[in-house]
Chains A and B, each alone.
Chain A
């Protein structure tokens, strides 16, 4: 069981520029829980590059569908951005639909997908 060292202040996410200190898997838990707890968030999915859902709060069939379809879309979006300007790269993808908004944070190996119902 992991324990937090020096409780009290919640650990801040490290800025990307500096070398990352060794983060604990518990922080991952905490981050994902925090995301899920936000207002309007319907589901959170973490998928790896092969389409295997690592963490998900939705049921398996939905997760696999989201994983497969969004992976393709993210690849397409990334290639579009890079075709237009090779120096550029995709940082975030947001799809707004009538019912909710799907947000995809892409990375080389993993995808973080969050489905949120924006307040209206």
Chain B
């Protein structure tokens, strides 16, 4: 007899046959844990936990068998019915309700849907390029050598004899003839009423729409300082990028400038790699492959777009400018290779691009006509009208416009006259394409229109703006329209026949200052370059680029009137000055009147007081105007 409780190897028990792979057995039951009461020796009921779990390999798992006496199991369960009894009874306690506040209604959200989460995925942009496939030769069967004329001719003749071919071609032929005859009979795309003049444009409000934006692809953004349109058809735009802030350019700043194709704002069409950032860049109007650029270090470089991004030639440093070349214009010449450049070092240099080693001519912008470089005014803007090839104008840093004659004999005579009136550098200088005697200057906070005859002052000027004006140009279609850009990122369109004290249209192009502006030759598209290198292409509404009725006459009348007014004022001033002078001369012989001379400190204090008074008056006026407009809005 086995000792109590200890597991014993079973005796007289035949273990079930070893499991073989995939054998179905009725015993033991399907569940892997089978508890079986096994009859064994008397009084002993063996309960064995036998687990026959068949692993996939068909091996048996290790089992553990133990033995327990039946009398130790305990009595079996006997269930019987019983009446329900209350075990606990908790009565409601109304006093507890005082701890709570009734809430009616209650928002209880019940959501029976499954939890969902939202994810956004933005794929990286992947570059696509369109490329064409050039077919060279059709799919000749293997036995025909496409280069052998005989074989190909034989093949063709064979096809031509095929009955299917014959029938098909005749059928298609008749269909085709029908269409050909149709084409010849009537032109279905004919333009009707082509000769009739288009009706006057309805009074739509002027607008400018952004067509495209070209961004500087480099990390460190540079200012788009100059734009130049492609001379044929204006499908490309050359933009010069540089950083004009004094000594602010970092080492990593790229020197590249780009030529953009209007259709593709993502990648520049051509990358120009000068040795120093380009400040100005111009297409040659005669040859659309040649561009000339003025660099930040004063050199001149020229490119041929057929030859790639490196400059074809660079001017020698010794003979170039000493300051950034701000102005660069092509001249009209037989060879089409002449250009001239201006820089703030006070010189205007003429170049022939075939030989950039030294300039062909120099002129020093010294208005005392002595040619002293130290007294010279720094030149920023250049103006040249191909219809007047001997004259040109230079806008300077000091706010003076100098007209020059190229064909004068001596350098002193080259400088013909000056026009002063701006308080700051003149950033743009342009003649009106319809009235060459009148020109526009843009500088400090105003834009001014001058007439060549009035040297004392401009004939028309805009009010002083809140932001500095950076560039301007005339419209090529309408004589009375011009465009200006400001440091607050707005582009103003002025029409002085319509409104003189405010721009006709003011468009906020971007938040950063706008530095350059260029109108396309058809007068419809304008490119504006900003401080962060973003060039925005805008299209103006048709009202601003179609010539209105009578516009030329009205503009002529306006210019003449203003010129006359200025001349009269000039004459008056001259008279007054003459009178003063004679009076002063006369008085000197008389008693010398003692005038109290103000000491410089008193003068300074007085001027300061006046200045602040004016500012405060202006601020008060603005506040009043704001309050008024707010009150109007509230009503």
Binding site for B on A (CB under 8 A): 13-14, 16, 20, 22-25, 27-28, 31-32, 34-35, 38-41, 46-48, 50-55, 64-65, 67-69, 91-92, 94, 96, 101, 103, 105, 107, 109-110, 112, 114, 116, 118-120
List the B side residues contacting A31 at CB < 8 Å: 169-170, 173-174
**B168-190 interface mask toward A, CB cutoff 8 Å, 1 = contact, 0 = none?**
11111111110111011001011
List the A side residues contacting B177 at CB < 8 Å: 34-35, 38
CB distance from A6 to the nearest CB of B (A): 18
In the assembled complex, the Cα of A14 lies from the Cα of B174 at a distance in Å of 9
List the A side residues contacting B141 at CB < 8 Å: 50
Task: Determine whether the beta carbon of B179 is less than 8 Å from that of A103.
Answer: yes
In the assembled complex, the Cα of A92 lies from the Cα of B482 at a distance in Å of 53
List the A side residues contacting B165 at CB < 8 Å: 28, 54, 109-110
User: With an 8 A cutoff between CB atoms, is B619 at the interface?
Assistant: no
Segment at the A interface, from B131-139, B332-340, B414-422, B488-496: B131-139
In the assembled complex, the Cα of A31 lies from the Cα of B163 at a distance in Å of 15
* Majority secondary structure, A binding face: mixed
Task: Determine whether the beta carbon of A28 is less than 8 Å from that of B166.
Answer: yes
List the B side residues contacting A118 at CB < 8 Å: 183-184, 187
CB distance from A68 to the nearest CB of B (A): 3
Report which of B136, B139, B175 forms a contact with A50, defined as CB distance below 8 A.
B139
Task: Determine whether the beta carbon of B135 is less than 8 Å from that of A119.
Answer: no
In the assembled complex, the Cα of A91 lies from the Cα of B169 at a distance in Å of 14
Task: Determine whether the beta carbon of B172 is less than 8 Å from that of A67.
Answer: no
Task: Determine whether the beta carbon of B166 is less than 8 Å from that of A25.
Answer: yes
5 closest cross-chain pairs (CB), A and B = A68-B135, A50-B139, A51-B138, A31-B173, A13-B174
* Majority secondary structure, B binding face: helix
In the assembled complex, the Cα of A55 lies from the Cα of B172 at a distance in Å of 14
CB distance from B189 to the nearest CB of A (A): 7
Binding site for A on B (CB under 8 A): 133-141, 155-156, 159-161, 163-177, 179-181, 183-184, 187, 189-190
Task: Determine whether the beta carbon of A103 is less than 8 Å from that of B160.
Answer: no
Task: Determine whether the beta carbon of A67 is less than 8 Å from that of B184.
Answer: no
List the B side residues contacting A41 at CB < 8 Å: 180
In the assembled complex, the Cα of A34 lies from the Cα of B183 at a distance in Å of 16
In the assembled complex, the Cα of A46 lies from the Cα of B176 at a distance in Å of 12
By beta carbon, the residue of chain A nearest B139 is A50
Task: Determine whether the beta carbon of B180 is less than 8 Å from that of A54.
Answer: no
CB distance from A16 to the nearest CB of B (A): 6
Task: Determine whether the beta carbon of B176 is less than 8 Å from that of A28.
Answer: no
Task: Determine whether the beta carbon of B174 is less than 8 Å from that of A65.
Answer: no
In the assembled complex, the Cα of A24 lies from the Cα of B163 at a distance in Å of 8
In the assembled complex, the Cα of A39 lies from the Cα of B177 at a distance in Å of 11
List the B side residues contacting A27 at CB < 8 Å: 166, 170
List the A side residues contacting B175 at CB < 8 Å: 91-92, 105
Task: Determine whether the beta carbon of B172 is less than 8 Å from that of A107.
Answer: yes
Known: A28-B165, A47-B138, A68-B135. A119 touches B187 (CB 8 A): yes
Task: Determine whether the beta carbon of B173 is less than 8 Å from that of A35.
Answer: yes
Task: Determine whether the beta carbon of A116 is less than 8 Å from that of B183.
Answer: yes
Known: A53-B138, A64-B135, A65-B135. A40 touches B183 (CB 8 A): yes
Known: A48-B159, A54-B160. A105 touches B134 (CB 8 A): no
CB distance from A115 to the nearest CB of B (A): 11
By beta carbon, the residue of chain B nearest A24 is B166
